[in-house]
Amino acid sequence: MPASLRDLRQRRSSVTTIKKVTRAMELIAASRIVKAQQRAQSSAPYARELTRAVSAVATFSNVEHPLTTESDNPTRAAVLLITSDRGLAGAYSSSVIRAGEELNQLLRENGKTAVSYLAGRKATAFYGFRRREVAGSWEGFSDAPTYAHAREIADALIEAFLKPTEEGGVDEIHVVYTRFVSMLTQKAEVIRLLPLEVVEDTEPPSKSDVLPLYEFEPDAETVLDELLPLYVASRIQYCLLQAAASELASRQRAMKSATDNAQQLIERLTREANQARQAEITQEISEIVGGSAALAEATAGVD
C-alpha cells in the first residue's frame, strides 16, 4: 500500500535535512584536507634534515645503538594503530583495525605476543568492547595532530622498547596507519618503526649530495643518542599527518556519496508524493462526479 501523502512529505523533508548535514560535512572535510596537506608539507624539511643527519652518523661511525639493534629472539612486539576519533569516514578506521588484526595474527604465528598501543577513539572503542588489554592509548587529535602528540607517543614507545622484555618491554614496534596516496586512494599500511632502519631516498644521491666527513660533537655516540629519539618522533609525526589527511579524504568521500544518496532518495520521494497527491485529486473528482450523478438520477426519478 502506498504511504500517505503526509508521510511521504515528512520523509522527504527529513531526508532534505540529512542531505544538508552531509553536504556541510563534505565541505568541511574538503577544506581541512588542504590544511592537513600543508601541515604534512611544512613538516617535510625537518624530516629531511633529520634523515640526512642520521644517515651521516650511521655512515661514518659504527656505533651500536640500542634503538638500532635487533633482538636475537624477539618475543614481544608492540603494534600502534592510528585510527580516527570520529566516525562517518567510510571504512577508514575499520580498514586500519583490520590490517592491525592481520598483523596481530602474523605476529602470533611467529610466536610473538602483540602489545597494543592505540591512537584514536575508534580503536579504543573496538578494543574496549572486546575487553582486550591495551598498553597505551591516545585520543582527541586524529584530524589535527601536532608535534607534541607525536613526541608523547614516541616517548612511550621508546620507553617500552628500551625496557628489558622480561619486565614488560617490547622487542619491536610496528605502526599501522593510512597512507595518503591521493584524494581518491588511501591505503592502510604497516611499517616497522623499531629497531630502526634508516629510510634513505630511493634515488641515487647527486654529486653535491654526497655526505661530507662530519666531525661529531661531543662524539658520534652522544649525537646518535640525541638524534634517534627525534627521528622516531618525526617518523610517528609523519604517520599521524598522513593518517589525518587520509581520514579527512575518506570522510569527504563518504559524505559525498551520502549526499548523492540523499539526493536520489529525495527525487524518489518527491515522485511518490506527487503520485499520491494526484491519486487523491483523482479520487476526489470521481467522488464529486459520482455524487452529482447520483443526485441527478435521484431528482430525475422524482419528476
* Tally of CB atoms within 10 A around 124: 19
* Distance in Å, CB of 52 to another protein, minimum: 8
Q: Which is nearer to another protein, 222 or 286 (CB)?
A: 222
* Distance in Å, CB of 104 to another protein, minimum: 31
Residue 136, CB-side half-sphere exposure with 13 Å CA sphere: 17
Q: Which is nearer to another protein, 126 or 238 (CB)?
A: 238
Q: Which is nearer to another protein, 58 or 89 (CB)?
A: 58
Closest by Cα among 188, 195, 170 to 100? 188
* Distance in Å, CB of 211 to another protein, minimum: 8
Q: Which is nearer to another protein, 103 or 158 (CB)?
A: 158
C-alpha cell, 120: 584514536
Q: Which is nearer to another protein, 49 or 201 (CB)?
A: 49
Q: Cα dist. 124→36, 67, 116, 170, 210 in Å? A: 23, 28, 10, 20, 45
Closest by Cα among 182, 161, 158 to 236? 158
User: Residue 293: which H helix or E strand, with range?
Assistant: helix 220-302
Q: Which residues bind another protein (CB under 8 A)?
A: 39, 42-43, 45-46, 49-50, 52-53, 56-57, 146-147, 150-151, 208, 211-218, 222-223, 226-227, 230, 233-234, 237
**Under DSSP, is residue 171 helix (H, G, I), strand (E, B) or coil?**
coil
* Distance in Å, CB of 42 to another protein, minimum: 4
Q: What is the CA radius of gyration of the chain?
A: 31
* Distance in Å, CB of 63 to another protein, minimum: 13
Q: Answer yes or no: are the C-beta atoms of 218 and 143 closer than 8 Å.
A: no
